[in-house]
Every structure is written in structure tokens, then in C-alpha cells.
Amino acid sequence: MKRIATIAATIGFVLSVSANADDRFKDVKIIPQKLTSKTYMFTGAGGNIGVSAGEDGILIIDDQFAPLADKIEKALTEIQVGEPKYIINTHYHGDHTGGNEHFSHSGTIMAQHNVLKRLKSNPKIDKKALPVITYEDGISIHFNGTTMNVVHLKPGHTDGDSVVYWADDSVVHMGDLYFKDQFPYIDLKGGGSVIGYRDNVVAVLKRINNETKVIPGHGELATKADLVKFKVMMDDSINWMQQQLVQGHSLKKIKERGLPESLKSWGWSFITADKWIDTLYEDLKK
């Protein structure tokens, strides 16, 4: 009897965990936005998804959280029949790779070597969710009448970031190297770097033009002008923290003094002003 009670308790626990996960994503809607005749951006919860759909089939860039996979698949079906043939992961975070296991039934997952390394080291991640093709510096995909150049940049958001450039400059998917109008999350423990992050944004700015549609990791579709604004915020943040450090202020003192007025509006629920100060301080004091 005691054993049955334990089993019941365990099942109850499992059910409540999955119920919570479902609750969290229950009301999420996957919204497709058409960018060109064969390119879409999907928003839902987690990182924005890039989609190429055409005569060769479907390719997706990132796949949000695992519980959203069915909704993502349904949204894809509304554009074009068939399941994704290729999945690119811009980096290893769960809000960009959660759907991997689901989509690996039909497609081949590609990512930079370090994405595989980091996903593999997480015992909770099923083998099916791991990238099958990995690269060091990048890979070019010739699909749906265009070429998508997937380029690995030096440590920025993590140590395995890729940006995807459409060869005709129509679209770029930046992964989490861009949070539109918000302080970015920089995963220092995952190999990220504040200066590297800013330099990667500069590298993207050099390659795109005023017509390029910029898919950020988080936030609404953007333009080169929006990305320039973001780059200026990064410069201002770095310069400001470097001044604080030269003046010998402690982290506590820096927080008391607070961010300059011009930077305050970039704070949000996840990366508040204090959290942004922590990241800048931790990485730049070295």
C-alpha cells in the first residue's frame, strides 16, 4: 500500500510538472510574419524562428521551447505542407533548441561545434536533440533558390553563436546576438563576452544594408538603423563601466550611482539595470 502511495505521488508529481509546463505555454500563439516570397519570421515564446519555405522544402533557424513544437509544426503546415528538412541552432540555449528532439524526426540539425558540446554535457537532453552536422567557422546552405551563409562569430552571447545571412542581403537572423531595444543577456558562463558581443554586432552591421530585414533573437523584426541604435547602447554601456572601473568604484557603489539616464530605458524584466551592471562589471573588471 505504501508503495502504491509512493507511485501515485510520483505520478502526481510528474503530471503536475508537465501541467505547469503546458500552462506556461498554453496561451502562446505562433505568429508567422512574411519577410520575402520564401522567408518568414515566427514569434511565439523564446527565440524568434527564421523559416525558409519553397520548392526544396522547409528549413528552420531555431525551434523555441519543447512544449511549443506541435504549435510550430502546425504554423509551418499552414505555409507549406511537409516537415522541416534542416534545422539550424544559432546557439545552445533551451529557448532556441527545445524543439530539436521533435523536429529531428524529419530533419537534420546543424550548429557550431560548441553547441553540440554544451547540449551533450546536459544529461537531460536526449541524443535525438543533438546536432548531427557541426562546423567550426560556418556552413553554406543552398536551398530554395538562395544561399544561406551560416557564420560562426567569436565569443559573444555564448561561445557557439552563429548568424545566418541570406546571400542577397534580404534577411539576417542574428540569434541572441541581438535583443531589440533591450539589454541583451550575455551568458558569461557559456563562454560569452561583453566586448565580443559588441564586436559581433559591428561585424553584422558591416555586412547588411538598409533594406535587410533583421531577425533578432528576441523582440520584433528590425532594421539596420535599429541595430545601429543597439550598437551605440553597447558602446555607451562599455565606456561607462570602464570609467567606473578606472575610478576604482566597487560593484555596490556603481549600483548605487546607477546607470546613466540614456541607458535606463533598455532595462526589462529579465535583464534589469542591476543585472546589466553585474554582467558589465563581471566581464570588464578582468
Which alpha helices (DSSP H) does the chain contain, by range?
2-26, 69-79, 94-97, 100-103, 113-120, 194-207, 224-246, 251-257, 261-264, 273-284
Q: Does 47 bind Zn ion (CB under 5 A)?
A: yes
Pairing of strands 39-43, 31-36: antiparallel
Residues 100-139 touching Zn ion, rule: CB under 5 A, are none
- DSSP string of 104-127, one letter each residue: TTT-EEEEEHHHHHHHHT-TTS-G
By beta-carbon proximity to Zn ion, the closer residue of 47 and 160 is 47
Count of residues engaged in binding Zn ion, rule: CB under 5 A: 5
Identity of residue 172:
V
By beta-carbon proximity to Zn ion, the closer residue of 119 and 254 is 119
By beta-carbon proximity to Zn ion, the closer residue of 57 and 175 is 175
The DSSP secondary-structure symbol of 189 reads G
Segment interacting with Zn ion, rule: CB under 5 A, options 18-26, 60-68, 121-129, 176-184: 176-184
CB of 34 to Zn ion, least distance (A): 23
Segment interacting with Zn ion, rule: CB under 5 A, options 35-43, 60-68, 120-128, 213-221: 213-221
The SS3 assignment for 28 reads coil
CB of 174 to Zn ion, least distance (A): 11
CB of 118 to Zn ion, least distance (A): 11
Binding mask 51-70 for Zn ion (x = CB under 5 A): --------------------
By beta-carbon proximity to Zn ion, the closer residue of 176 and 244 is 176
Sheet of 84-88, strand order: 31-36, 39-43, 49-54, 57-61, 84-88, 108-112, 133-135
CA distances from 104 to 21, 43, 54 (A): 21, 21, 20
Q: Does 161 bind Zn ion (CB under 5 A)?
A: no
Q: Which three cell numbers mark 157?
A: 552571447
b/e code 121-152 from CB counts within 10 Å (16+ = b): eeeebeeebbbeebbeeebebebbebebbbbb
By beta-carbon proximity to Zn ion, the closer residue of 104 and 162 is 162
Segment interacting with Zn ion, rule: CB under 5 A, options 129-137, 209-217, 229-237, 270-278: 209-217
CB of 253 to Zn ion, least distance (A): 30
Q: Which residues, 6+ apart, have CB-to-CB distance to 106 below 8 Å?
A: 83, 84, 85
By beta-carbon proximity to Zn ion, the closer residue of 48 and 144 is 48
C-alpha neighbours within 13 Å on the C-beta side of residue 195: 9
Residues 68-107 touching Zn ion, rule: CB under 5 A, are 93, 95
Q: Does 176 bind Zn ion (CB under 5 A)?
A: yes
By beta-carbon proximity to Zn ion, the closer residue of 185 and 281 is 185
By beta-carbon proximity to Zn ion, the closer residue of 101 and 159 is 159
CB of 184 to Zn ion, least distance (A): 9
Residues that bind Zn ion (CB under 5 A): 47, 93, 95, 176, 217
